[in-house]
Amino acid sequence: MARGQDAPALFRVPTREQQLAAVGPLDKLPLAEQRAFEITSDFQTIRAPEPADWLAHHQERRQTFESFLRTPHNLPSSVANTIYVLPLDDFEEGKGPALADLQEFAGAFFGLPVKMLTGIPLASNSAIERRSRGEDGMQYLTTDILKVMLGYVPKNAFCVIGVTMEDLYPEDSWNFVFGQATYANRVGVFSFKRYSPEFNGEEWNDETRRRMLRRSCQVLVHETGHMFGITHCVWFECIMCGSNHLGESDSRPMHACPVCLRKLHSSAKFDFATRYRKLLAFYEKHGFTEEAAWVKKRLQRLTVP
End-to-end, the C-alpha distance of the chain in Å comes to: 39
| Whole-number percent of the chain with pLDDT over 90 | 78
- What is the mean pLDDT of the segment spanning 217-226? 92
The whole-number pLDDT of residue 92 equals 74
Does the pLDDT of residue 46 top 70, yes or no? Answer: yes
* Of the listed ranges 52-61, 83-92, 246-255, the one predicted with least confidence: 83-92
Residue 21 banded pLDDT, cuts 50, 70, 90:
very high
Number of structural domains found in the chain: 1
Does the pLDDT of residue 177 top 80, yes or no? Answer: yes
- What is the mean pLDDT of the segment spanning 277-303? 97
Instruction: Give the DSSP letter of residue 204.
Output: -
- Concerning whether 223 is annotated as a catalytic residue, the answer is yes
We report the CATH number of the domain holding residue 67 as: 3.40.390.10
Cα–Cα distance between 114 and 105 in angstroms, integer? 9
The whole-number pLDDT of residue 4 equals 45
Cα–Cα distance between 185 and 137 in angstroms, integer? 29
How many CB atoms are closer than 10 A to CB 100? 9
pTM for the model stands at: 0.91
Cα–Cα distance between 251 and 293 in angstroms, integer? 17
The catalytically annotated residue of 166, 223, 248, 291 is 223
How many CB atoms are closer than 10 A to CB 141? 19
| Whole-number percent of the chain with pLDDT over 70 | 97
Domain assignment of residue 135, given as a range? 2-303
Query: Exposure of 131 by Cβ count < 10 A (0-12 exposed, 13-18 middle, 19+ buried)?
Result: exposed
CB 190 within 8 A of CB 161: yes
Q: Mean pLDDT, the chain, as a whole number? A: 92
Cα–Cα distance between 67 and 120 in angstroms, integer? 38
CB 159 within 8 A of CB 81: no
